[in-house]
Amino acid sequence: MEIQSIKNRFGIIGNSQALNHALNVAVQVASTDLSVLIVGESGVGKEVFSQIIHALSSRKHNSFIAVNCGAIPEGTIDSELFGHEKGAFTGAVDSRKGYFETVSGGTIFLDEIGEMPLGTQARLLRVLETGEFIRVGSSKVQKTDVRVIAATNRELVDFTLNGRFRQDLYYRLSTVPIRVPALRDRKEDINLLFRKFVIDFAERYKTNPVQLDEEAKTLLINYTWPGNVRELKNIAEQISVLSTQPIITGNELRKFLPEKGVQNRLPIPAGHTPQTSEFANEREILYKLFFDMKKDVTELKKMFLEILQNPSLAGTAARYTHESLLNDHPLNGDQKQLYDVPSVMQPNILQQPPSVGHNQPVIIDHSHDDDIHQHEEVEESLNIMDKEKELIEKALKKHKGKRKDAAADLGISERTLYRKLKEYDINE
């Protein structure tokens, strides 16, 4: 089937090379039963590609259902997909078929697959590999014949590295990956899409379609479109409804474009990498904090062992530590007296009375030297999952088990916190 006829059938506007390539891949894979992973930013039209694949497949006369994995609560997603038996959980007053059972013979589109909980991912992997599933609360294995098309606006490869997505499921889903280009990568299609949208809205609202002057066209093309086609359609509708002029100038168009998006068009300084992840800043800060803490603790351990092995170094170590603290934290005279050498840095050292100055000799007590036989340096764990579990436990303890407050303190959603509690087996 020709690409142009597919565009006409499904209302796809554009002739960019990246878009045509994605459509060609969708057409070629449609006649097979392979799993497909559609990758693209939010608003690029990933669901349209799933409909194209289903409509051109041998399953086109059977059911097609689209499921947004990010919109279903974690506690009920297994029931929604695989069904449940009566009494399987509170509120299960009757047995219920899941999507994989009702759509058998057809196609199921799993949007935002990256938001699927790990437990559900294991169930989905079994369906993909064996065609078998078990209802929640049942022990009976059932068969299904469903083609799975998944979509995500995240990079699942990164999710597999930090344990948020199963690696085996990723490779099973991405048998044939299709990458739908962002609107900013299809600049030649922006004016075509805008023109199509304003004509449609003019017919709907019984008005004349607006037109753009050259400055407005240039501004429209150079805008970053973080919301992609969906955002462009919304802007076209706003202009069609609110504009009083038949010709839209650049100044008029700026009133409808968010200032943040316009500023993003400015050149990015060399060496600057913008943060694209909502967790990037927080995670980088945590990682740096952990690494700095590890370095400091290791140095303290090393100095502690050297003092134990050679007590004569204690006075030098104490003066060095004191001077380092003062150099790293320049303070006034009144504040410097607060930086006495901590007791943890002075094992087997008699504590100095408050009246003794920093330059007084340090008295060493060797009475317990014979008790020191062996010292082993224990490497501190830097496992990110251990640190994440520790932070979650601290937040829950701080807020006395209140999940909502703990989640807000951690900077995550309450749903994500609930998933982490199950994943790390944390008892509140």
% of the chain beyond a pLDDT of 90: 53
Decide if pLDDT at 208 tops 60.
Answer: yes
Distance CA 64, CA 70 (A): 19
The answer regarding whether domain 3-181 maps to CATH 3.40.50.300 reads: yes
Q: Which residue has the higher pLDDT, 26 or 407?
A: 26
**pLDDT tens, position by position, 38-66:** 999 999 999 999 999 999 999 999 999 99
Distance CA 318, CA 369 (A): 19
- pLDDT score of 224: 94
Would you give the DSSP letter of residue 163?
T
Decide if pLDDT at 400 tops 90.
Answer: no
For the chain, the domains span 3-181, 184-263, 295-366, 384-423
Q: How many CB atoms lie within 10 A of CB 278?
A: 10
Distance CA 231, CA 224 (A): 11
Structure confidence at residue 75 as a pLDDT band (50, 70, 90):
confident
Q: What is the CATH number of domain 384-423?
A: 1.10.10
Query: Per the structure block, which two tokens stand in for 162?
Result: 């930090």
Decide if pLDDT at 351 tops 50.
Answer: no
Q: What is the CATH number of domain 184-263?
A: 1.10.8.60
Average pLDDT over residues 334-348: 45
| Minimum mean pLDDT range among 101-115, 116-130, 275-289, 362-376 | 362-376
Distance CA 77, CA 66 (A): 14
Distance CA 176, CA 178 (A): 7
Average pLDDT over residues 61-76: 93
Would you give the DSSP letter of residue 88?
S
Over the chain, what is the mean pLDDT? Answer: 80
**What residues does 141 pair with on adjacent strands?**
134
**pLDDT tens, position by position, 245-304:** 889 999 999 999 987 655 444 343 434 444 444 444 555 566 566 666 766 777 777 777
Between CA 203 and CA 200, with CA 6 as vertex, the angle to 5 degrees is 10
**pLDDT tens, position by position, 211-243:** 999 999 999 999 999 999 999 999 999 999 998
Structure confidence at residue 313 as a pLDDT band (50, 70, 90):
low
Answer for the pair 125, 166: CB distance below 8 angstroms, yes or no: yes
- pLDDT score of 260: 61
The C-alpha R_g of the chain, in whole angstroms, comes to 31
| Minimum mean pLDDT range among 10-14, 341-345, 385-389 | 341-345
Residue 285 CA neighbour count, 13 Å, CB half: 8
Quote the distance between the C-alpha of residue 395 and its chain's center. 21
Distance CA 201, CA 112 (A): 29
**pLDDT tens, position by position, 401-421:** 888 888 888 888 888 888 888
Distance CA 370, CA 337 (A): 34
How far the first Cα of the chain sits from its last, in Å, is 58
Quote the distance between the C-alpha of residue 113 and its chain's center. 12
Distance CA 35, CA 48 (A): 16
Decide if pLDDT at 365 tops 60.
Answer: no
Decide if pLDDT at 199 tops 70.
Answer: yes
Residue 382, SS3 per DSSP? coil
**pLDDT tens, position by position, 149-184:** 999 999 999 999 999 999 999 999 988 999 999 999
**What residues does 247 pair with on adjacent strands?**
211
